[in-house]
Amino acid sequence: MSVENGIGASVRRKEDQRFITGNGHYLDDINRVGQAYGYFLRSPYAFAKIKNIDLSAAKAAPGVVDIFTGADMVADGIGGLICGWGITSKDGSPHNAPPHNSLAVDAVRHVGDQVAFVIAESLQQAKDAAELIEVDYEVLTPVTNISKALDSGAPQIHDEAPGNLCYDWELGDKAAVDAAFANAAHVSKIDVVNNRLSPNPMEPRAALGEYDAGSGELTLHTTSQNPHVARLIMSAFLGIAPENKLRVIAPDVGGGFGSKIFVYAEETTTIWAARKINRPVKWTADRSEAFLTDAHGRDHVTHAELATDSDGKILAFRVSTQANMGAYLSTFASAVPTYLYGTLLSGQYKIPSIYCEVQAGFTNTTPVDAYRGAGRPEATYVVERMMDTAARDLKMDPTEFRLKNFIQPDAYPYETPVIMTYDSGDYPLAMNMAKDMIDYNGFAARKAQSEANGKIRGIGVAAYIEACGIAPSAAVGSLGAGVGLWESAEVRFNPTGSVTVFTGSHSHGQGHETTFAQIISDKLGVPIESVEVVHGDTSKVPFGMGTYGSRSLAVGGSAIVKAIDKIVEKSKKIAAHLMEASVEDIEHEHGVFSVAGTDKKLTMGEIAFAAYVPHNYPADLEPGMAENAFYDPLNFTFPAGTHIAEVEIDPATGVVDIVDWAAADDFGNIINPMIVEGQVHGGVAQGIGQALLEGVVYDDESGQLLTGSYMDYCMPRADDLPSFRIATTNTPCPSNPLGVKGCGEAGAIAAPAALMNAIVNALGKDIDMPATPEKVWRAINSN
């Protein structure tokens, strides 16, 4: 029996009605009586000492309520921003995490660093007053490039980080890798740069702080992917207010892609200032501020080598990476180039030994942290560029080389040399499916046709794997995480049979209000329109670790299933009592409870009503029908698949035209295929953006951000992208009750490698991202 709008149905989204009619409530849509407006004075320099700040003229400006500097926050005992993941270097020392004040105290370390917070009756007045603040800077020489920052003699950004080093980390068996290389028939080498990106969710970050002098409660409305984590950090480390007096609300959030995970200076300053002035304060970033201060992504420089035998089998893999952390260590920055990167370097391949070392360092740039995929796109890019290079060196077809080295479908659980245990998968199946979809074998004929038309055609493959469903608490704890990464849920029946589901996951475009409601509908037989999913408010939801790392369904959805199981267990007792049967004889399917072998049955709605009006009720049972559950995953999940890109390049202009895209992804079981397809489309688009269009650029000498607006940073537009052909395979995840793996990041992980392999295939030479027309044209016209 299947249920209407249940698991597996492409249910149209419940949340869409408010968004398509203009009735969403994004942060800047919220206003409070008596609200003042905040504006940040930001550093115009990449690196400077602050010798003096003179606020006198600004404080006297019209409409100014107050102006705060770093000294005011320090005097109030407000702590600095923290990094929640400790990395240990090769020599056993902890990573260097220099102080990171919300408002600068004695120095600024990137363009856009916060210097003062001006609060006025109107935003315009706040901006005008900020112009009157006189800051006496001693300008220092900045460094923005990670390789230069790690060179001896580079400007020293923090006293606490000698040589600008955050950590020098390693993973894997160096001796085994060295031995394998010494005996290898072939060694292939690559040098790749993973370009720095700006996440650019369309809703800029914003914060609205409120203080209730009566209760002493602070309420922060903020653009967050994880409001409970924000509350925890602001309470425990910054000391803004105890958790019981701090409410954090993340309402409709217009995209995140990782950038809204982190606890930022603007949000902490806004909520602190609201209490200082005892008035609501609102701050909304403009796009320029978003480019300057939203944590960036990627920015790796990598050298990699692959050892193979005479038969084309991989023997060992060696990777050395420099990772740019920016000016300060953001909330989860340290984990991205280590445990979200090095652990994925086995890709889909059986590689006997792997060794990876990562040097992370500070520069005078915006902090870098997780951006869609977070470490896994960087790993996939290295692995898949490497595989193509090795195949080329060995004169093998790149798909044949991969198929020869894939972990086989009967090998699970498969332990990699980089501490992951893959639980399920069928990599050859997905690759062969993608090859069929794009008619891989017909490529030579299409290439000949392109050549006849004066064009250059290329095809590129990426077989990716990611570790999602983040994450088993004990595992991540042993690797340095400061938190557990479980999720919580409450399923609450109302007496009239409707259901309210509280989840610690947060939706900012993923469609949880629909997907999670489908689970309830399917398992408890409640019509989907009678299910309300509540998220994003610390005063409503028990607790939550939030949404990132494609974890919401695998972890948050599993917590909901656990709560449903408790509801069913209790309902069986009530049903047994009402139908005068023993509990063991009660059968349950999709919200109908029946007595085995009879036609007696009760619906979930009838039982819920009985639980709230317990006139005829088991004596030993509590009334009510609401259950809480916390779910801690047993393992990561391992979505995987193959994407194939086909391009045609015009040698006259260097413009890359994506003529076809085929994706075969294994996400395990799927609740809503329509939403999953949409996630893949969006991920691939961001990956194509990285490969062809996007890149954060700093001026080397001044450290100024040159790509600070949509005039300069090339976002993918509709006419830059093709339509996509996507399909799925399914090996259910064995470690969670839904059998799901997660789909949010796959596209962004697979696409850059697939597209760049296609371009390299067309050009016959290596090229770095973004493959702009100029770069491609130069590559064609150079020797």
Residues making contact with other proteins (CB under 8 A)? 12-13, 15-26, 28-29, 200-204, 252-255, 257, 286-288, 508-511, 674-675, 677-678, 681-686, 709-711, 715-719, 721, 723-724, 747
What are residue 634's phi and psi, to 5 degrees?
-85, -25
Question: Tokens representing 449?
Answer: 């046709």
What's the CA gap between 157 and 107, in Å, rounded?
10
What's the CA gap between 274 and 36, in Å, rounded?
9
Q: Which residue, 1 or 711, is less far from other proteins as judged by CB?
A: 711
The nearest distance, CB 290 to other proteins, in angstroms, is: 9
What's the CA gap between 460 and 385, in Å, rounded?
10
What's the CA gap between 617 and 543, in Å, rounded?
31
Distance, CA of 536 to chain centre: 17
Q: Which residue, 167 or 291, is less far from other proteins as judged by CB?
A: 291
Q: Which residue, 23 or 408, is less far from other proteins as judged by CB?
A: 23
- Indicate the pairing of strand 300-308 with strand 186-194: antiparallel
Surface-to-core class of residue 691, CB atoms within 10 Å of its CB (0-12 exposed, 13-18 middle, 19+ buried):
buried
The nearest distance, CB 256 to other proteins, in angstroms, is: 8
The nearest distance, CB 119 to other proteins, in angstroms, is: 18
Q: What is the 3-state secondary structure (H, E, C) of 6-58?
A: CCCCCCCCCCHHHHHCCCCCEHHHCCCCCCEEEEEEECCCCCEEEEEEECHHH
The nearest distance, CB 716 to other proteins, in angstroms, is: 8
The nearest distance, CB 532 to other proteins, in angstroms, is: 18
The nearest distance, CB 743 to other proteins, in angstroms, is: 13
The nearest distance, CB 520 to other proteins, in angstroms, is: 21
H runs (alpha helix) in 600-733: 604-612, 673-688
Q: Which residue, 121 or 217, is less far from other proteins as judged by CB?
A: 121
Q: Which residue, 2 or 709, is less far from other proteins as judged by CB?
A: 709
Contact 316, 247 (CB under 8 A): no
The nearest distance, CB 662 to other proteins, in angstroms, is: 14
H runs (alpha helix) in 204-248: 227-236
Q: Which residue, 223 or 558, is less far from other proteins as judged by CB?
A: 223
Q: Which residue, 193 or 674, is less far from other proteins as judged by CB?
A: 674
Angle at the Cα of 119 (from 116 to 122), degrees rounded to 5? 135
Contact 150, 359 (CB under 8 A): yes
Locus of tokens 């494609």: 550
The nearest distance, CB 657 to other proteins, in angstroms, is: 12
The nearest distance, CB 48 to other proteins, in angstroms, is: 25
The nearest distance, CB 86 to other proteins, in angstroms, is: 32
What's the CA gap between 694 and 703, in Å, rounded?
19
Distance, CA of 401 to chain centre: 31
Q: Is the previous residue joined to 623 through a cis bond, with omega within 30 degrees of 0? A: no
Q: Which residue, 249 or 418, is less far from other proteins as judged by CB?
A: 249
What's the CA gap between 503 and 507, in Å, rounded?
10
Q: Which residue, 327 or 656, is less far from other proteins as judged by CB?
A: 656
E strand segments, 332-455: 353-361, 414-415, 421-422
Q: Which residue, 13 or 570, is less far from other proteins as judged by CB?
A: 13
Question: Tokens representing 570?
Answer: 């209790």
Q: Which residue, 326 or 511, is less far from other proteins as judged by CB?
A: 511
The nearest distance, CB 356 to other proteins, in angstroms, is: 31
Element (DSSP H or E) covering residue 755: helix 746-763
The nearest distance, CB 75 to other proteins, in angstroms, is: 34
The nearest distance, CB 745 to other proteins, in angstroms, is: 13
Contact 223, 260 (CB under 8 A): yes
What's the CA gap between 468 and 741, in Å, rounded?
7
Q: Which residue, 594 or 679, is less far from other proteins as judged by CB?
A: 679
Residues paired with 648 in a beta bridge: 457, 657
Contact 629, 503 (CB under 8 A): no
E strand segments, 95-146: 107-108, 114-120, 134-139
Q: Which residue, 287 or 573, is less far from other proteins as judged by CB?
A: 287
Nearest to 607 by CA among 589, 619, 625, 622: 625
Contact 517, 528 (CB under 8 A): yes
Q: Which residue, 23 or 278, is less far from other proteins as judged by CB?
A: 23
